[in-house]
Chain A
């Protein structure tokens, strides 16, 4: 089912009625961001958008909202576009278990068509534009950034592919936000301790399996390329960079090769973030771009990010939930049923679990907070019974409203770590965290009156099937 490249995926979206081409002239600002934000407000089944008539440009094409809905997420996995969310979660988890899938190496790639090494001007090569009004500049926020472990450079698994926000800050200069929890921050620290620049590649306009893998909180030594292969069910195609030993997604539209400058920090930001707040301005590392390649007439892919829900939330929803699910299952293999960590990248997570004894669910909540992703997120973990679907918020609210006793079931743990972008953290990066145990009390717990749960009339399942047939 693998998509050959970005264009192949766009053409599938078009065939499935999930791509809207906008050929009326639009202005770079505010039209592209405004239209994309407006599309995000229109529900969970929206199409991608392709803008091909942008004021002042001759042949620029900009794709937005490419994975900004559940149908598009299903198509990313080669599933029917109407696949229910919970089914997408379990199918993703099944494929996650197929990791690692060996990669396929290629000698050449379509992005070799045009190569620029002199007088690079990113403002001219890329159709850049502002996303939110307070942004400090023009950002790249859906590019795959590739770097290698400096101390173990031969280790393919420790090569990282990640999505990081990047501000274009000069003709050949890009600012990047590698917060300490990110894998690229480990690589940068290794390089800076040696006094060396860190080679990096930025691949823009990729088919969606690698973007999904790059946005998944994998373990440090797990390869995103081997995970992209597992997601798409075929070896992932990569090609070597020319200035370093880095591997690049074969199907990229535009590739920027460069190096993170050791010891350099420069003012960056603010940027409207997935938390629905701006990040503030800080001093961050700089990438010097030495080589650019791109396909002829490249399609520039970009992502609107801001007040949830936007494309980001679809892009990091299931692939954040699944690693938490798998890591919780390692601790509690017979109990964990499903995990929904789709809200603000898992700052809130909902775990459905069986219980072995009273108090068990609270331990599940604490374990969620100590997973690698939970250390930076999982500010609030809601734990529900096995018969509550964590993806069905009315069911979750029912569990909270009827199973939770505030005196016994609210646990607050002080001063844990969280990502610094959490606007409520104080100081930035530190927050109390909370477990809400909305499971049914179990012995030796004796409180509450839960011995008469409501059942359904007989034959509801039979009728549901019959009604579905009648409604076809």
Chain B
């Protein structure tokens, strides 16, 4: 498990490895669905250096607006 630089969940997993062995890995966070590559700059990969304007609070995700809106039959 890896820490998501955007929402800081600890649940990110590896979704791909470079075809050339050892070059990089791609991780994905199942909470905020952020995806990043291990060799991207620290402003993308490091939770402390990730741009604060783009941080995501996991608590806000369930209330994100639905686009398009769900038809009535799916609204719980």
- Chain A positions within 8 Å of B, measured between CB atoms, are 27-30, 55-58, 60, 121, 123-124, 128-130, 133-134, 136-138, 167-171, 175, 177-180, 185, 188-189, 192-193, 195, 262-263, 265-268, 270, 278, 281-285, 420
Contacts and interface: CB of A to CB of B under 8 A. Distances in A.
B34 A29 contact: no
Contacts of A266: 33
Contact of A180 (B44, B68, B74): B68
B20 A283 contact: no
Given A170-B28, A282-B65, A283-B67, A30 B19 contact: no
A178 B68 contact: yes
Interface centre among B37, B67, B70 (most CB of A within 10 A): B67
Given A56-B24, A283-B66, A121 B71 contact: no
Nearest to B16: A123
Contacts of A29: 37, 39-41, 44
Contact of A58 (B19, B35, B70): B19
A134 B55 CA distance: 10
B19 A177 contact: no
14 contacts: A27-B39, A56-B24, A124-B19, A129-B37, A134-B53, A137-B33, A180-B69, A188-B68, A192-B70, A192-B73, A192-B74, A263-B71, A267-B32, A285-B68
A130 B40 contact: yes
B6 A136 contact: yes
B68 A263 contact: no
Contacts of B67: 177-180, 282-284, 420
A57 B28 contact: no
The 4 closest A-B pairs by CB, nearest first: A56-B23, A56-B18, A123-B16, A137-B35
A55 B23 contact: yes
**Size band of the interface chain B makes with A:** 35 or more
B1 interface: no
Contacts of B6: 136
Interface of B is mostly: loop
A347 B2 CA distance: 42
A57 B21 CA distance: 9
B70 A263 contact: yes
Interface in B41-61: 41, 43-44, 51, 53-54, 56, 61
Given A55-B23, A189-B71, A133 B44 contact: yes
Contacts of B68: 178-180, 185, 188-189, 285
A195 B16 contact: no
A138 B37 CA distance: 10
Contacts of A129: 37
Given A167-B33, A170-B28, A281 B73 contact: no
Contacts of A270: 54
Contact of B61 (A267, A284, A285): A267
Contacts of A175: 33
Nearest to A134: B54
B35 A282 contact: no
